[in-house]
Chains A and B, each alone.
Chain A
Amino acid sequence: MIEFLSVSKKYSADALALSDVTLNIARGELVYLAGPSGAGKSTLMKMVAAIERPTSGRVTVNGQDIGKLKKAGVPFLRRNLGLIFQHQRLLNDRNLLANVMLPLIVTGAPKAQAAERARAALDKVGLLDRARALPMELSGGEQQRVAIARAIVNRPQIILADEPTANLDRAAADKVIDALHAFHSAGVTCVISSHDEQILDSGARVIRLEHGHVMDGIGGGV
């Protein structure tokens, strides 16, 4: 489903983010990307979402070559992805329901249908009763759960969670990870990056990155 073949990424001549990375992530797999800050975890995720393009090598997602993907095709690739960011990136002037509806609205879905599905997504993360609240009224953990609801409302094939627990306390972090595990159990491919060793699930595959190199966990579920 996700394939990296000898992928390197340079932001500048002396800033090598990824170096000759080769890995596969299979459909329905749960994968953790582990490693310290600056290891290349975020760059790897950005390539899957076509936010960054490889300097060399080939990245394919659902058979689509990211390096050759035209600009007009990027939005349609992203509609099959659920992106979760460290800082949630919720729109603070809109309530939770409107935030979660956004991925459906951008696809041109009818408003009533978008609202119904957004409510269902909020229900799955336990925040339906706060649907009319603004993001600023929620705790960091709750905001991250809203971000998860927004990521799954489009029923994506892949969830990419970049440091989803970085700013959360242990209890909140566990809730977020539990929610992601629930979606994985439902068949969604989940890629979760973290530098926090405590959240790495012992049963899941862990790909370790350091200074842009894959140190461990290349083969996995392929």
Chain B
Amino acid sequence: MNIWFRQHRFAFVAALATVRKSPGSFLFNVLVVAVALALPFAGVTLLDNVRPLSEQLAVDPEISLFMKPGVAREDAQALAPQLQQLLAGNHAKINFVPREQALDALKEKSGLDDVIATLGDNPLPDSYVMKLDGFAATSTAEAARVDLLADHMRQLPGVDSVQVDSAWVKRLAALLGVLRLALLLLALTLGVVVIAVVFNTVRLQVLTQREEIAVSKLLGATDNFIHRPFYYTGALLGVCAGAVALGAVALALRPLNTAVGEFARLYASDFQLTALPALGIVGLLAISAALGLVGAMLSVQRHLARLK
């Protein structure tokens, strides 16, 4: 066993010994830090659950054009060249959707075969679905151009209505962007809180152990030897608090899923919030340990310099 490993083991054991000397104080500090970490961890968990949903949704503008009821199939199909002319230069994909195909799709997606069967005649019109590639989802100018195209389409003969389907997807994407930013700011703020708590905890330990530190230096201890136990204490505090925060978030998912489940069922979905995957948990624990380490390093640098 080399000296480096031995000294790190000594530092880790010394950090554990400090915890054993005042477990109540350590536990209290863990809880304070865990409270600060729990909110951003909950946000990360929520975003991690919502991200796959938002990624599945098309963000490129999609225009749906519905013919008036009773328009003949030939007349409806005759619109295709006009639509191609309108969309020229927009890398558009134009799909004609016959009313029969639309009804089949409705049956398949909604699972309401029995209800639809009671309608007798197919109530759906022939329609076109046009996907426009290459549009910037967040560009206001591009969105205005799509709206203008939709207005032109509404003037075509036999057209009943035109819908631009991408607007709500854009809003959702924008909302998720705002949430991510808000979460980042929240995490940064609470990260500073974590660092401050660890900073103060380590400051008290440095003061408590100042005689031991002074004696060790006189006996030939290097700065690294003296600093390491405090670094381990900070990291230990961070990782324990991170584990408690993750545990609290996992516990909170149970009652939350009851409410989310009811809401999701209204949209025929079985969506449930799940805990973070193992890699995510390890990542958050590493971030917690790093925050604790940073707090300890700042405190040690400042307070040991003062002891000198």
Q: Is B220 in contact with A51, judged by CB distance below 8 angstroms?
A: no
CA of A110 to CA of B9 in the docked complex: distance in angstroms?
11
Q: A107 contacts which chain B residues (CB < 8 A)?
A: 220
CB distance from B259 to the nearest CB of A (A): 52
The closest CB in chain A to the CB of B308 belongs to A71
Q: Is A91 in contact with B211, judged by CB distance below 8 angstroms?
A: yes
Q: Is B215 in contact with A75, judged by CB distance below 8 angstroms?
A: no
CA of A105 to CA of B220 in the docked complex: distance in angstroms?
10
The closest CB in chain B to the CB of A91 belongs to B212
Most A CB contacts (10 A, CB to CB) among B7, B214, B218 go to B218
CA of A78 to CA of B216 in the docked complex: distance in angstroms?
10
CB distance from B111 to the nearest CB of A (A): 70
A186 interface residue (CB < 8 Å to B): no
CA of A71 to CA of B308 in the docked complex: distance in angstroms?
12
Number of residue pairs across A and B with beta carbons under 8 Å? 48
The closest CB in chain A to the CB of B7 belongs to A108
The closest CB in chain A to the CB of B212 belongs to A91
CA of A83 to CA of B221 in the docked complex: distance in angstroms?
13
> What's the interface size class on A, roughly?
20 to 34
> What's the interface size class on B, roughly?
10 to 19
CA of A110 to CA of B216 in the docked complex: distance in angstroms?
17
Which residues 1-58 in B have Cβ within 8 Å of A in the complex? 1, 3-4, 6-7, 10
Q: Is A91 in contact with B6, judged by CB distance below 8 angstroms?
A: no
Q: A102 contacts which chain B residues (CB < 8 A)?
A: 215-216, 219
Q: B3 contacts which chain A residues (CB < 8 A)?
A: 108
A89-B211, A106-B225 given; A51·B218 CB < 8 A: yes
Q: Is B211 in contact with A75, judged by CB distance below 8 angstroms?
A: no
Which residues 220-260 in B have Cβ within 8 Å of A in the complex? 220-223, 225
Q: Is B1 in contact with A78, judged by CB distance below 8 angstroms?
A: no
Partner among B6, B215, B223, B225 whose Cβ is within 8 Å of the Cβ of A89? B215
B217 interface residue (CB < 8 Å to A): yes
The closest CB in chain B to the CB of A107 belongs to B220
A150 interface residue (CB < 8 Å to B): yes
Q: Which residues of A contact B (CB under 8 A)?
A: 49, 51, 71-72, 75-76, 78-79, 83, 89, 91, 102-103, 105-108, 110, 150, 154
- 12 other A-B residue contacts (CB within 8 Å) besides A51-B218, A72-B222, A75-B217: A71-B223, A72-B223, A76-B220, A79-B219, A83-B219, A89-B211, A89-B214, A89-B215, A105-B10, A107-B220, A110-B6, A154-B220
Q: Which residues of B contact A (CB under 8 A)?
A: 1, 3-4, 6-7, 10, 211-212, 214-223, 225
